[in-house]
Amino acid sequence: MVTVSELNVPHMPQWCPGCGDFGILISLKGAIAKLGLNPHEVVVVSGIGCSGKLPHYIKTYGYEGIHGRALPAATGIHLANHKLTTIVVGGDGDGYGIGMGHFIHTMRRNFDMTYIVHDNEIYGLTTGQTSPTTKKGVKTKSTPFGSIDTEVNPPLLALAAGATFVARGFSGDIPHLTELIAKGIAHRGIAFIDVFQPCVTYRKDLPYELYQKKIYKLEAEGHNPSDWEAALKKARETDRWPIGVFYQEQKPIYTDEIPFISESPLAKHDISKIDISKFVEEFF
Ligand SMILES: Cc1ncc(C[n+]2csc(CCOP(=O)(O)OP(=O)(O)O)c2C)c(N)n1
Ligand code: SF4
Ligand SMILES: [Mg+2]
């Protein structure tokens, strides 16, 4: 069992002061502590982006991969040792742009992992180009006359792909986000959490105050998270922005379907008596 401060690292995050990434980092630490996990039981995997730096700022196992490939890297780690609590973090560009194919397939496969997207509706690290969640009409460095693309809807996509836990949080509401991440990690199956994360540098038109004005909590309005059709409707709302759990159901997880590893993680298998000389001969 670990406390939040025991998850701290000795260096400061290299994020702009006020960035929403801080709220996600604090909430993730809070969720790990709340669930009574130990640092050696957790791995945090990322792609590339401002968000992708997060594994450097938390004292668990960590891996910063390449842009758009956080989910495949995490899948490999998870299949090698599915007893590790696998948490994947990344940006909206990383997950919904170059990584979109991986996103859909990870949602449908129901790995027992948690995927947290820092959704700031911009490419932060590369200094402010449109991302797949930048809304149509928004002016950015790469779309000075306003984006002509229709934005993607991450919770709707996750629901359509068959995700068994679909949620959205706000990095400016740390108690709520901590609770949401803890629920996601505790969920047996894929837990997807899109997080509204203000980028105070490149999305000055999308400040904390606007999120506070627009968001409301699903649980405060009696939403039933076991109702998939209701979740679809909520995910399509645009006038107000719902946060909380859209949908949750229990289904067998991916590793349940592989008897070879369901009982004991691959990494723990005794391979000392397996003769691999034939394979070695074939490949070398
Ligand atoms: C294969 C590849 N393509 C493009 C890049 C350049 N690149 C780095 S981060 C990034 C986008 C970052 O935006 P996002 O994923 O939303 O993360 P944020 O910085 O906003 O947290 C891009 C395009 C790269 N590093 N690798
Ligand atoms: S550029 Fe935006 S997302 Fe990146 S650290 Fe600064 S505020 Fe955060
Ligand atoms: Mg981004």
In the chain, what are the domain boundaries?
16-283
**Is the predicted pLDDT of residue 99 greater than 90, yes or no?**
yes
Q: 22 C-alpha vs ligand 2 centroid, how far in Å?
A: 10
Q: What is the average pLDDT value for the chain, to the nearest integer?
A: 97
The verdict on the CB of residue 91 being under 6 Å from ligand 1 is yes
Is there an atom of ligand 1 within 6 Å of 21 CB?
no
pLDDT band at residue 284 under the 50/70/90 scheme: confident
Please indicate whether residue 197, judged by its CB atom, sits closer than 6 Å to ligand 1. Answer: no
Ligand 2 proximity of 202 Cβ (cutoff 6 Å)? yes
Residue 279 confidence (pLDDT): 87
Tell me the average pLDDT across 42-46.
98
Query: 32 pLDDT band (50/70/90 cuts)?
Result: very high
In the block, tokens 């809304």 appear at 135
Q: What is 16-283's CATH topology? A: Rossmann fold (3.40.50)
The percent of residues in the chain predicted with pLDDT above 90, rounded, is 93
Contact call for residues 172 and 178 (beta carbons, < 8 A): no
Helices (H), the chain: 21-34, 70-80, 92-93, 100-109, 154-161, 174-186, 208-214, 228-235, 259-262, 277-283
First to last CA, the chain: 46
For residues 264-269, give the mean pLDDT: 91
Long-range contacts of 252-259 (CB under 8 A, 24+ apart): 252/110, 253/110, 253/111, 253/112, 253/188, 253/189, 254/109, 254/110, 254/111, 254/112, 255/79, 255/82, 255/111, 255/112
Question: At 273, is the pLDDT very low, low, confident or very high (cuts 50, 70, 90)?
Answer: confident
Q: What is the mean pLDDT of residues 229-252?
A: 98
pLDDT confidence of residue 36: 96
- Residue 271 pLDDT > 90: no
Label the pairing between strands 113-119 and 85-91: parallel
Give the distance (Å) from ligand 1 centre to CA of residue 231: 30
Residue 14 in 3-state DSSP?
coil
Q: How confident is residue 283, by pLDDT bands cut at 50, 70 and 90? A: confident
Q: Contact at 8 Å (CB) between 78 and 111?
A: yes
Per-residue pLDDT, 74: 98
* pLDDT value of position 1: 77
- pLDDT value of position 276: 87
pLDDT, one tens digit per residue, over 149-205 is 999 999 999 999 999 999 999 999 999 999 999 999 999 999 999 999 999 999 999
Checking if the pLDDT of 38 tops 80, the result is yes
Tell me the per-residue pLDDT of 212-232, one tens digit each, with 9 for 90 and over. 999 999 999 999 999 999 999
Provide the whole-model pTM. 0.97
Verify whether ligand 2 is closer than 6 Å to residue 31 (CB atom): no
226 vs 159: CA distance, rounded Å: 12
**How many A from CA of 147 to the centre of ligand 3?**
15
Mean pLDDT to the nearest integer, 80-92: 97
pLDDT band, very low/low/confident/very high, at 127 (cuts 50, 70, 90) = very high
Give the Å distance between the CA of 49 and the centre of ligand 3.
7
Q: For residue 139, is pLDDT > 90?
A: yes
